[in-house]
Structure 1
Amino acid sequence: MTKTLLITGASSGIGAATARAAAEAGWNVALLARSQDKLDALVEEIGEGAMAIACDVTDRDAVMGAVSQAVERFGGLDAVFANAGKGVDTPGVEDGDPAEWHDMIHLNVMAVLYTAHAALPELRKRKGHFVVTGSKAGRDHLKGSIYGATKWFVHGFAGNLAEEMREWGGRCTVISPGMVDTPFFDEAKPGKLQAEDVAAAVVFALSQRKTSCVREIHLMPND
């Protein structure tokens, strides 16, 4: 039976690279993002084992509906990669923009929670795997970084969720990259980690034997 992976933030960068890598490894992929056009192009590239679901993952009802669509199409859910996230244009606390914080926290924190809440009943049926994108910024203290604080939440949540899922044979992994050359940054970072590096880490975590749970993969660029 072909396994199914649901990916949020799938239209570009790490999410799109993971969709390609997982499909190559034999997975069906359900791709979530707000951009229908980009998702459709990625589905056309990957082929029959992919489906596009336009979804704002900060909308809990939309996430619930997307999980239902994926299950209806592929018959179940074996893994989720909660990858959607964003930073802010104005760093720091004193000079920061609370409106930016609001939007970032809803995507980096609440969307992860909504995705886990919606997916866990399906993952439990197959002793599945929840993977989430953390960051080096979620392991280090960075001056005034609200973005970093959201990733500290992700790292803490992933560890706690791993313990919850362990009770029924499930697994949770946080992928923790340093700087990655993705559209997250305004300028290209060709010497840093590539989206494909992170995608390979996700597929590695998913490919482990059932007796092993890789709780965290921390990647840093060689440059």
Structure 2
Amino acid sequence: MRRFEGRVALVTAGAQGIGAAVARRIADEGGSVVVTDLQKEKVAQVAAEIGEQAIGLRVDVTSRDDVDAAVAAAVERFGRLDVLVNNAGGCIVTSVPEDTTAEEFHRQLDLTLVGASRCIQAALPHLVKTRGNVVTISSVNGLAAFGNIEYSAAKAGQIAMTVNYAARYGGLGVRFNVVAPGTIRTPNWDNQPDTLERFAPMYPLGRVGEPEDIAAAVAFLASDDAAWITGHTLPVEGGILTGPGLFDLATTGPFRKEY
């Protein structure tokens, strides 16, 4: 398939895991890609592996100057912007919610929720010109109780923000959608290999997800195959939202305080 021929995508947090898989998938389907990440060397390597149709930039999504510069670089290099993939974020609060400080909560929101908003604001004028679209990588944490309360609140906020943007800008031809992954095998789990094995049986499909599972869903929503889909959240989660393992997964791990 060449669904992104002549189109340009900007992918945040693209140095590894889901972001890198999304960038490769869009490039494999003919698109040009601006891959951004805090990890300068790694994102440059991903772009080099993709080839001439990609550039890698160090970008901090908590900085509006960085985000503006990345969008400007995309348009300068490739002449347009058609797709924004908001993938930057992460669980940065390590305390139980009863002990979380306001500063920690604000940092979580600034990275995951406000960071996505900054990227949308910077990209929107160009997406209006191309009748483009935004795909934001949220999480099943934004849809059900899996713990990690601050992270989950930020992810739920992404979903609410997407619905409102979709309603506001649909008349201008700009689409906004969300992919909500379950547990995905990314480098974030490298120091916890046993955890993924423990989680796998909780999923009705019997495994955790791979970055390519998410990349396939993003490519669908960002392409013309989804031309009449906006304001929706697509869970890509191996059935965990329907299965009995939901409670087990939500009540394990370091984010529960014993009394």
State the TM-score, normalizing by the size of structure 1.
0.93
Question: 1:180·1:192 contact (CA, 8 Å) conserved in 2?
Answer: yes
Q: Judging by fraction of residues, say which structure has more strand.
A: 1
In the aligned structure 1, how far is the partner of 2:55 from the partner of 2:148?
Answer: 39
Aligned sequence identity (%): 33
1:147-188 Cα deviation digits (max 9, x unpaired): 111111011011111112201011111001111111233424
Question: 2:135·2:179 contact (CA, 8 Å) conserved in 1?
Answer: yes
Residue from 225, 234, 237 that aligns with 1:220: 237
In the aligned structure 2, how far is the partner of 1:182 from the partner of 1:23?
Answer: 20
Structure 2 matches for 1:89-128, cutoff 5 A? 89-128=93-132
AA of the residue aligned to 2:12: T
AA of the residue aligned to 2:211: A
AA of the residue aligned to 1:45: E
Residue from 30, 33, 53 that aligns with 1:29: 33
Question: Residue 95 of structure 1: CA displacement?
Answer: 2.3
- Is the counterpart of residue 200 in structure 1 residue 216 in structure 2? yes
- Is the counterpart of residue 132 in structure 1 residue 149 in structure 2? no
In the aligned structure 1, how far is the partner of 2:18 from the partner of 2:157?
Answer: 20
Question: Residue 88 of structure 1: CA displacement?
Answer: 3.0
Structure 2 matches for 1:173-184, cutoff 5 A? 173-184=177-188
In the aligned structure 1, how far is the partner of 2:11 from the partner of 2:148?
Answer: 30
Q: 1:203 to 1:51 in 2, by over 3 A?
A: same
Residue from 84, 89, 93 that aligns with 2:88: 84
In the aligned structure 1, how far is the partner of 2:63 from the partner of 2:56?
Answer: 17
Q: Judging by fraction of residues, say which structure has more helix.
A: 2
State the TM-score, normalizing by the size of structure 2.
0.81
* Counterpart for residue 8 of structure 1: 12
1:69-114 Cα deviation digits (max 9, x unpaired): 1100000100100100110352432123544323221110111110
AA of the residue aligned to 1:187: Q
Q: 1:49 to 1:93 in 2, by over 3 A?
A: same
Question: 1:17·1:199 contact (CA, 8 Å) conserved in 2?
Answer: yes
Residue from 37, 45, 49 that aligns with 1:45: 49
Question: 1:178·1:220 contact (CA, 8 Å) conserved in 2?
Answer: yes
Q: CA RMSD in A?
A: 1.8
Residue from 187, 192, 197 that aligns with 2:192: 187
Question: 1:90·1:97 contact (CA, 8 Å) conserved in 2?
Answer: no
Question: Residue 141 of structure 1: CA displacement?
Answer: 3.1
Question: 2:97·2:149 contact (CA, 8 Å) conserved in 1?
Answer: yes
Question: 2:83·2:134 contact (CA, 8 Å) conserved in 1?
Answer: yes
Gaps of 5+ in 2: 198-206, 241-259
AA of the residue aligned to 1:203: A
In the aligned structure 2, how far is the partner of 1:10 from the partner of 1:86?
Answer: 13
Q: What SS class does the counterpart of residue 98 from structure 2 fall into?
A: coil
Question: 2:163·2:176 contact (CA, 8 Å) conserved in 1?
Answer: yes
Q: Which structure would you say has the larger Rg?
A: 2
In the aligned structure 1, how far is the partner of 2:227 from the partner of 2:112?
Answer: 30
Question: 1:91·1:144 contact (CA, 8 Å) conserved in 2?
Answer: no
AA of the residue aligned to 2:237: M
